[in-house]
């Protein structure tokens, strides 16, 4: 019925041509989404017939269609935080990432709790205050932890270490981590 209705609408409506192009693009994006392909801009669909070759750089993201955390490295930048266990640090990261809209956030939350749906109902996560996005760097917030008190947490790329005034040892560990995982996003 939807196909017949669309045909009738396009032939009966005087502005069918105006409706036709956006409607075809919308249908193409919907069809792509049903097959697991995300199209960010409608004009991409219109350029598809002109594409002869595509070069891809990401591994895992495209083959599985989802981001995942493969390895975790906790880099404490202040004295006293080295005792924080990796599992607890991952929960802190998950609590902060729940505030974020970044695509990697869901992968971090899933790594910490197993399922992102469980995170919204979880009482295991600490409270986050003063959350803010650091454009081009990452995210920042204050975690309220019963054992450690109020702690400033920054999650992000290599630039986050500079923002956090990390010790040179943390910078060296980050570089070593990148060298150990050259094919992955860090």
At 109, list the tokens.
């939350």
Q: Kindly report the number of other CB atoms within 10 A of residue 138's CB atom.
A: 21
Distance CA 167, CA 65 (A): 36
57 is catalytic: yes
Q: Are 144 and 126 in contact (CB under 8 A)?
A: yes
Alpha helices in 126-167 (DSSP H): 159-163
Which residue reads 């094919």 in tokens?
183
Is there a contact between 31 and 24 (Cβ–Cβ < 8 Å)?
A: no
**Which of 57, 82, 85, 179 is labelled catalytic?**
57
Q: Which residues are catalytic?
A: 57
């Amino acid at each position: 019925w939807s196909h017949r209705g669309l045909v009738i609408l396009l032939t009966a409506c005087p502005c069918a041509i105006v409706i036709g192009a956006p409607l075809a693009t919308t249908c193409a994006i919907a069809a792509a989404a049903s097959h697991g392909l995300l199209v960010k801009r409608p004009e991409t669909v219109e350029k598809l017939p002109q594409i002869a070759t595509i070069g891809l750089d990401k591994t895992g993201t495209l083959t599985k269609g989802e981001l995942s955390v493969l390895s975790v490295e906790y880099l404490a930048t202040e004295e006293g935080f080295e005792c924080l266990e990796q599992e607890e640090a991952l929960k802190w990261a998950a609590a902060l990432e729940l505030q974020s809209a970044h695509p990697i956030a869901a992968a971090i939350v899933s790594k910490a709790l197993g399922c992102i749906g469980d995170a919204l109902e979880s009482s295991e996560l600490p409270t986050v205050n003063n959350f803010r996005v650091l454009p081009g760097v990452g995210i920042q917030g204050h975690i309220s932890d019963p054992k450690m008190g109020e702690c400033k947490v920054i999650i992000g790329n290599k630039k986050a270490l500079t923002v956090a005034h990390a010790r040179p040892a943390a910078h060296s560990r980050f570089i070593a981590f990148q060298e150990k995982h050259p094919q992955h996003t860090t």
